[in-house]
Structure 1
Amino acid sequence: MNNVIALKSYAADRWLAEGEGAELVSAIDGATVALMPGVADVREMIDHARRVGGPALRAMTFRQRGEMLKAAAAAISERKAELYALSSFTGATKGDSAFDIEGGIGTFFVYASKAKTLPDAHFMLEGGRETLSKGDFLGQHVLAPLIGVAVHINAYNFPVWGMLEKLAPTLLAGMPAIIKPATFGSYLTEAAFRIMIESGALPTGSVQLLLGDTSDLLDLLDGQDSVAFTGSAATANRLKTHPNIVKNTVRFAAEQDSLNASILGMDAGPGTPEFDLYVKEVAREMTQKAGQKCTAIRRALVPTSMLDSVQNALISRLGNATIGDPRDETTRLGALAGIPQRADVIANLGKLTAEAEVVFGGEVPELHGNLAKGAFFEPTLLRCENPDAAEAVHSIEAFGPVCTLMPYRDADDAIMLAKKGKGSLALSIFSHDRGVTVDLVKGVSTFHGRVMIVDRDNAEHSTGHGAAMPHLQHGGPGRAGGGAELGGTIGMLPYMQRSAIQGSEALISAVAES
């Protein structure tokens, strides 16, 4: 890259002065890509969102906000080539970049479409009218946007989608946002954000970008504000127990560590379509985005009798995953986001090997030239012979191209192992036995935010284990954080207040239609 990008925060509808802060380097070869800016005035940002952004958005109806999202998505789509060019420096292949960039654009378009199902008004109805007495006195639940600011604290793995998947339901709900991306890859986030600003699609004050230090941001929030966080459970717990968050009952939603599982059905032996589909999916989840997906398969549960067959098939497929420069079309596994991320993966892999054996990979690949300075790591498959007694493989996430293979005896054992993750974002089942599949879903659903079922009949149209769809809830219970991002209108709820309106039919209708 010829020119180093001087990044800027965007506050109160202006780009702040660029700085010469920390260097952001390419995950491919360690070359400097961008410089972080100085500290922004977060008090000004919050005040501007409340005084300018909030009123501007609340003056619009849901359908008008939908048109706004559609225009912003179109603007990003027209200039997405700029984003693809930058994305490779995060270690992403073209396919990885599409997952991030196209996924983010698609989320905006889906929410724009959802707006067409909402009233052309300022209140969203929930449920029907409730008769409260014999006379003309009824009740109706309505939802209206909070009058504060939404703070979005995003992870480094999806610089574009991570921003847009939180922003779409927030803006459609009618709430302004301050976006705080992770430092790694923030040059890509800034580029996508800049396109939205330059498009003029968004009203003044509706979005602001905070790069670097958050300063005392959380100290300034109150009960009309909302925080959405993606990252580690340790950081989430620290933020959600921040004294001001607790004192003012600031809404806090977290999407955090998730030991997602995938179950191969007892009926899906070698030679069946489901067996082949399972192996392909596990391998894809290990290599796509170099395994840096919160929804990636971390635990592959297979019948005891098929353990060796699945292991051999996975090793064969992973052995064909070319590691190298993500800009090369022959590359199937790019780099991790940076050297620190790779060090973290290696450290957690060391903890996993106390209970599981590495049967493939597990090393830094030997690459030549500048690529030797990159954050590359081999796809790594582990095998845990006794998952019932194990703990680490169900609780420690190596956030990279790492998955643990483990056997189960019967459906009840598979359910028990899946639940040992203590709450996950996603689980998938590969089986053509409808009865077994139904029993598995009944057993695992309360521990998983999403369950995907694949067989030979629907595989062609399956969206994939790791793809969080904007139409469906993205979140999970327990260890996964308990959040519920996305999911159509479900994703709007953290940014809206439910009120029970009581009165005559005519008065309630007047409120609902206003």
Structure 2
Amino acid sequence: MTDCISLSHYIADRWVGGGEGRSLHSAIDGAVVAQMPGTADIAAILHHARTIGGPALRAMTFRERGQMLRALAGALTERKDELYALSSLTGATKGDSAFDIEGGIGTFFVYASKAKAMPDAHVLPESGRETISKGDFLGQHILTPLTGVAVHINAYNFPVWGMLEKLAPTLLAGMPAVVKPATVGGYLTEAAFRIIIESGVLPQGAVQLLLGDTGDLLDRLDGQDSVAFTGSANTANRLKAHPNVVGKTVRFAAEQDSLNASILGPDADEGTPEFDLFVKEVVREMTQKAGQKCTAIRRILVPGKSIDAVQSAVVARLARVTVGDPREGGTRLGALAGLAQRDDVIANVERLKTEANVVVGGTIPDLGDALAGGAYYDATLLRCNDPLGSEIVHSVEAFGPVATLMPYADVDEAIAIANAGQGSLALSIFSHDRAAIARLAIGTAPFHGRIMIVDRDNAEFATGHGAALPHLQHGGPGRAGGGAELGGVIGMMPYLQRSAIQGSNGMIEAIEGLRGHG
């Protein structure tokens, strides 16, 4: 039994509040594990970030901020066991926790490495000089940090990675951040945040933590501020349409849940390496983090001739998946984040059933009285035999261990089905036919932010369909939100202003070479 944790905001470099708000429950058995604090002083948060945190970070060079990130990654690594202990309460197995915790720390390390290639200065040149006249009068694009506040509104599925993957590019860019984690699992985010603060690495005001309600936060932002949101399309649309966000042209980047697909190539018949690799990846994506990943495979696209074989193989592999207490070493499928999240999955499976049939799952497992209060749900495979004649399977997401099997007749039809999701974060292709791969990749690229291609030759090194990597952009068009996080400098762009400088070569060099404190 875990003692109830009294959570606090972190405002103006001090911990504020006590357990006055909502009770948070363990996803394992429903026990109360934490108490949220009361409301926070939003005005104080923004004032401190703008007047203390921003100037302190902008006084550092890009390389100095990179060294800061590396030190933070080291501090988190030294105390990561504390995070693993809490992570299980969110329903995560040890492997799920590693995806969240190690993935977040790794993002800090990668961005620290990226900083080594940046200038030891306050200005980041972009591309080369442009000749705009016959004389010594040139043009140069430069990037400088905004002078406002970066507001991070995170989702519940990755309490650690979700915070760190936004903080890394923000701090390297030189902006102070206000972290607003999801309430569910917020105790894990607060624990990671405490490690960051207790490391003593950051200057004052660089980061603050806002738990619970955002109050009038969006009303107080302006054109030098930036909002990065992760979550549902409905919430994102409501926030980005906020009158002040629109009126003040507040930068708003959204990374939304999407109906990601995986395609088995027309050549990958049963018995080929690609067939086996595909089935293994589908089941991993259905069960990892209990299917609560914004990149998880939701639509399984296979040649019509192979659909029965794929269905049998997936069902057989799912039958070997152990559902239960995530603290047990043999558990492969832990709990959803909470009972509300499970209710949402159940409701959306019912909607999917209007166009698809349940092949296996769709039920709440009986795990005994000790786990009766937990948020468990069986891995669920559905089958839709007419994907092009359907709509709900391409628009409704059951955010849990749920995926829908769909047949296609040829490559063009596979492209049409994949693109019917109206914009996704990730797509994967399992094939050894280079001509088919090229057509699939080019045909689906306008609708997908990332495409992973796996065959028998590269499978050993493939990073996985659902892995968002700090080296590459994480985002997608349309339903996926249109944002682009991570990807090195790409992830820093919401926090940097591009300016076109015109002047002599010497003047531009002086601007680019500005360094040191002051």
TM-score by length of 1: 1.00
Shift of 1:53: 0.4
Give the aligned partner of residue 183 of structure 1.
183
| Cα separation, 2, equivalents of 1:118 and 1:112 | 10
| Cα separation, 2, equivalents of 1:207 and 1:225 | 14
Give the aligned partner of residue 492 of structure 1.
492
SS, match of residue 152 in structure 2? strand
Shift of 1:202: 1.0
Give the aligned partner of residue 300 of structure 1.
300
Give CA deviations for 1:91-112 in whole Å, capped at 9, x if unaligned.
0000000000000000000000
| Cα separation, 2, equivalents of 1:93 and 1:19 | 28
SS, match of residue 388 in structure 2? coil
Give the aligned partner of residue 285 of structure 1.
285
Shift of 1:370: 1.8
Give CA deviations for 1:467-489 in whole Å, capped at 9, x if unaligned.
00000000000000000010111
User: What amino acid maps onto 2:372 in structure 1?
Assistant: A
Residues 1:63 and 2:57 are matched in the alignment: no
User: What amino acid maps onto 1:28 in structure 2?
Assistant: I
Residues 1:263 and 2:253 are matched in the alignment: no
**Higher mean C-alpha displacement, 189-198 vs 2-11:** 2-11
Shift of 1:396: 0.4
User: What amino acid maps onto 2:498 in structure 1?
Assistant: R
User: What amino acid maps onto 1:180 in structure 2?
Assistant: K
| Cα separation, 2, equivalents of 1:154 and 1:343 | 21
Shift of 1:133: 0.4
SS, match of residue 19 in structure 2? coil
| Cα separation, 2, equivalents of 1:104 and 1:417 | 33
Give CA deviations for 1:174-222 in whole Å, capped at 9, x if unaligned.
0000000000000000000000000011111000000011110000000
Residues 228-377 of structure 1 aligned to structure 2 (within 5 Å): 228-377=228-377
User: What amino acid maps onto 1:428 in structure 2?
Assistant: S
Give the aligned partner of residue 383 of structure 1.
383
On the 8 A contact 2:9/2:16 being kept in 1, the answer is yes
User: What amino acid maps onto 2:297 in structure 1?
Assistant: I
User: What amino acid maps onto 1:34 in structure 2?
Assistant: A
Residues 1:221 and 2:221 are matched in the alignment: yes
Identity of aligned residues (%): 72
SS, match of residue 262 in structure 2? strand
Residues 136-151 of structure 1 aligned to structure 2 (within 5 Å): 136-151=136-151
Give CA deviations for 1:212-269 in whole Å, capped at 9, x if unaligned.
1111000000000000000111100000000000000000000112000000001111
User: What amino acid maps onto 1:106 in structure 2?
Assistant: G
Give the aligned partner of residue 418 of structure 1.
418
| Cα separation, 2, equivalents of 1:143 and 1:495 | 9
Give the aligned partner of residue 209 of structure 1.
209
What RMSD in Å do the two structures reach over aligned CA positions? 0.5
| Cα separation, 2, equivalents of 1:465 and 1:2 | 35
| Cα separation, 1, equivalents of 2:164 and 2:424 | 22
| Cα separation, 2, equivalents of 1:382 and 1:62 | 49
SS, match of residue 373 in structure 1? coil
Shift of 1:372: 1.3
On the 8 A contact 2:257/2:295 being kept in 1, the answer is no
Give CA deviations for 1:331-354 in whole Å, capped at 9, x if unaligned.
000000000000000000000000
| Cα separation, 2, equivalents of 1:377 and 1:74 | 36
Residues 1:22 and 2:13 are matched in the alignment: no
SS, match of residue 388 in structure 1? helix
SS, match of residue 216 in structure 1? coil
Give CA deviations for 1:413-463 in whole Å, capped at 9, x if unaligned.
000000000000000000001111011111000100000000001000100
Residues 1:460 and 2:460 are matched in the alignment: yes
| Cα separation, 2, equivalents of 1:295 and 1:125 | 33
User: What amino acid maps onto 1:92 in structure 2?
Assistant: A
| Cα separation, 1, equivalents of 2:120 and 2:431 | 44
On the 8 A contact 2:69/2:112 being kept in 1, the answer is yes
| Cα separation, 1, equivalents of 2:19 and 2:326 | 29
Give CA deviations for 1:343-401 in whole Å, capped at 9, x if unaligned.
00000000000000000100000110221110000000000000010000000000000
Residues 1:115 and 2:115 are matched in the alignment: yes
SS, match of residue 446 in structure 1? helix
Residues 28-107 of structure 1 aligned to structure 2 (within 5 Å): 28-107=28-107
User: What amino acid maps onto 2:388 in structure 1?
Assistant: D
| Cα separation, 1, equivalents of 2:118 and 2:418 | 37
Where do 5+ consecutive residues of structure 1 fail to align?
Answer: none
SS, match of residue 302 in structure 1? strand
Residues 1:448 and 2:445 are matched in the alignment: no
SS, match of residue 372 in structure 2? helix
Shift of 1:297: 0.2
Give CA deviations for 1:265-300 in whole Å, capped at 9, x if unaligned.
011111100000000000000000000000000000
User: What amino acid maps onto 1:422 in structure 2?
Assistant: Q
Q: How many residues align?
A: 514
Residues 1:479 and 2:476 are matched in the alignment: no
Give the aligned partner of residue 170 of structure 1.
170
User: What amino acid maps onto 2:361 in structure 1?
Assistant: G
User: What amino acid maps onto 2:281 in structure 1?
Assistant: E
SS, match of residue 88 in structure 1? helix
Shift of 1:25: 0.5
Give CA deviations for 1:293-334 in whole Å, capped at 9, x if unaligned.
000000000000000000000000001110000000000000
| Cα separation, 1, equivalents of 2:323 and 2:372 | 12
User: What amino acid maps onto 2:137 in structure 1?
Assistant: F
User: What amino acid maps onto 1:97 in structure 2?
Assistant: S
User: What amino acid maps onto 1:317 in structure 2?
Assistant: R
- When residues 336 and 2 of structure 1 are mapped into structure 2, their CA distance, relative to the original with a 3 A threshold, is closer
| Cα separation, 1, equivalents of 2:69 and 2:370 | 41
SS, match of residue 117 in structure 1? coil
Give the aligned partner of residue 429 of structure 1.
429
| Cα separation, 2, equivalents of 1:260 and 1:124 | 35
